Amino acid sequence: MDQLAAMRALRRVVELGSFTAAAEALGISHTVVSRQISHLEAKLGAQLLNRTTRRFALTAAGQAYYEASRHILDALDDADRAVGQHQANPGGTLRINAPMAFGTEELAQWLPRFLARYPDLQVDLVCNDRVVDLIEEGFDVALRLARDLPDSTLVAKRLASSQVMLVASPDYLRRHGTPRTPHDLLQHNCLTYSQLARPRAWRFTAPDGAEVAVTVQGSLQANNGVALRTVALAGTGIATTASFIVHEDVRRGALVRVLPDYTIRPRELYVLYPHNRHLSPKVRVFVEFASALYQARGWD
């Protein structure tokens, strides 16, 4: 027996004054309502209603049970409404993990608009350049820049592509010359991104579509694109980095694109979150906001 259903049936009978009206309100038959209340009386070992052919009346036990069950059902209805309101108005703390460069150079640019749209949310943003375990470390969502994602139980939604480019300062190129082909890089100090599986293996697609691979050498590798940008600005060497990190430097001439006719496979931007049957409202609105943002304006 579904005791909650039986309690609701009893309440409807008492408040509407008849089994027929209660059955219509609940969308079930008169017979089912009568059976539910009979089963409830059998479970409790007490008669709740005195019935005649035309009317009924609550017994003393029935009155006490009706009052108690009404409070229980009201509390359940309040709980349902609270969850519904929470679903409509996400709140609480949203823990986000992001790569250091992306978090500081890109995410921080549009995060204020997200917070303005959802004023009941607080964001705890953690930026680092290691792969965190979302579940173990308590993150709600993560942003990743990668060419390929490892298999996992997380949901991964692609948001955009991030162009990768080679850059160097005008001073470095004056002193060491400007490479004309990828093989010329073998004579240069190349600054590499250590988070890649093979940091020194640089692969290009030539203007004619041919694939070109070179293994470069250099005085610095770093796990952070902003550090590579800063060292490149100082005239130390040629860096490979995401365009969102250096596009302003290129625009104002502080850095120059090297081998602009050769393309490097882009890194994809993903948003990752745990697979739950019921996605929490705060994660849902963040994923929707980020998806709409990059779909509307693109990237690079």
List the domains of the chain with CATH numbers: 3-87 (1.10.10.10), 92-161+268-297 (3.40.190.10), 162-267 (3.40.190.290)
User: Residue 151 has what pLDDT?
Assistant: 66
Q: How far apart, in whole angstroms, are the C-alpha atoms of residue 110 and residue 113? A: 6
Mean pLDDT of the chain: 88
Asked if pLDDT for residue 229 goes beyond 60, the answer is yes
User: Residue 125 has what pLDDT?
Assistant: 95
Give whole-number Cα distances, 26 to 18, 22, 30, 80, 227, in Å.
Answer: 12, 6, 10, 18, 66
> In 3D, which of 247, 264, 268, 243 has the Cα closest to residue 143?
268
Tokens 């796990």 sit at which residue? Answer: 223
pLDDT in tens, 155-181: 899 999 989 999 999 999 999 999 999
What lies within 8 Å, CB to CB, of 158 at 6+ separation is 268, 269, 270
User: Residue 48 has what pLDDT?
Assistant: 84
In the numeric block, which tokens belong to residue 236? 């130390």
More confident site: 207 or 79: 207
Give whole-number Cα distances, 27 to 80, 274, 296, in Å.
Answer: 20, 38, 46
State the distance between the two ends of the chain, measured CA to CA, in whole angstroms.
Answer: 61
Contact (Cβ atoms closer than 8 angstroms) between residue 240 and residue 215: no
Q: How far apart, in whole angstroms, are the C-alpha atoms of residue 74 and residue 112? A: 40
pLDDT category of residue 146 using cuts at 50, 70 and 90: confident
pLDDT category of residue 22 using cuts at 50, 70 and 90: confident
Give whole-number Cα distances, 4 to 18, 33, 43, 150, 249, in Å.
Answer: 19, 13, 13, 46, 66
b/e sequence 223-251, b meaning 16+ C-beta within 10 Å: bbbbbbbebbbeebbbbbbbbbbbbebee
Exposure on the CB side of residue 250, measured as CA atoms within 13 A: 18
Contact (Cβ atoms closer than 8 angstroms) between residue 263 and residue 211: no
Asked if pLDDT for residue 83 goes beyond 70, the answer is no
Q: Which neighbouring-strand residues pair with 209? A: none
3-state secondary structure of 284: helix
List phi, psi (to 5°) of 28. Answer: -130, 180
Q: What is the pTM of this model?
A: 0.67
pLDDT category of residue 97 using cuts at 50, 70 and 90: very high
pLDDT in tens, 55-79: 778 888 888 888 888 888 878 876 7
User: Residue 200 has what pLDDT?
Assistant: 94
Residue 105 DSSP code: I
Q: How far apart, in whole angstroms, are the C-alpha atoms of residue 138 and residue 152? A: 16
